[in-house]
Amino acid sequence: MLTFSKKHSRGFTLIEILLAITIMIGMIAMCVVLINKALRYFNGSRVRQQSSQQARAAVVTMQRVLADAIPYTVIIRTPAPSAQVPFPPPNSEVDFSTATTGGAAYTIQWATNTVHLIVNYPSPLNLTDTVLIKDVSQLSFTTDVRDPSLLEINLRMDVPIDGQTTYTMLLNNQVTRLNGH
């Protein structure tokens, strides 16, 4: 007859199994936290990179359009307050004409966190409004009093990355020479 002795049993006790499960749950929770942090970091990096590219592209577009501006037609001003924007940023709008578009009037303006390029062609009802960039909290234009053909663009973006973090990007002192005649 076979007899079993408790001394030679090779199984795990209930306490040992519960302890192993608790340790595994703790390790899984730490892995989830680390993966979540890594994903937030990579998402933030992606948003920062896209925002930087968009801001630079918008400034390059503004510089390209402004390069054709006739210097004596450039008017920098602060837009009038509105219900949507009761306190518009100072010097956040520039109006000008170019020699190459047959008398079209251009406006680059900040309006409710977006930058618009508005072109008004001489023919009736021919107005185009292009949004150059969003999430812009500040845009300003200044000219050099010693050389009125130089125009400086300053842009600030505040881009939400997630519910807790905002990425701020500054593009200051972006100088453009007005080549229009």
Spatial distance between the Cα atoms of 111 and 88, rounded to a whole number of angstroms = 8
Q: What tens digit of pLDDT does each residue of 115-131 get?
A: 999 998 877 668 889 99
CB 65 within 8 A of CB 91: no
Tokens for 117, please give them: 């390029």
For 132, other C-beta atoms within 10 Å of its C-beta total 21
For 69, other C-beta atoms within 10 Å of its C-beta total 25
Q: What tens digit of pLDDT does each residue of 26-71 get?
A: 999 999 999 998 988 888 888 889 989 999 999 999 999 998 888 8
pLDDT at 17 over 80: yes
Burial class for 71, CB neighbours closer than 10 Å (0-12, 13-18, 19+): middle
Give percent of the chain above pLDDT 90. 38
63: helix, strand or coil = helix
pTM of structure: 0.76
* More confident: 3 or 14: 14
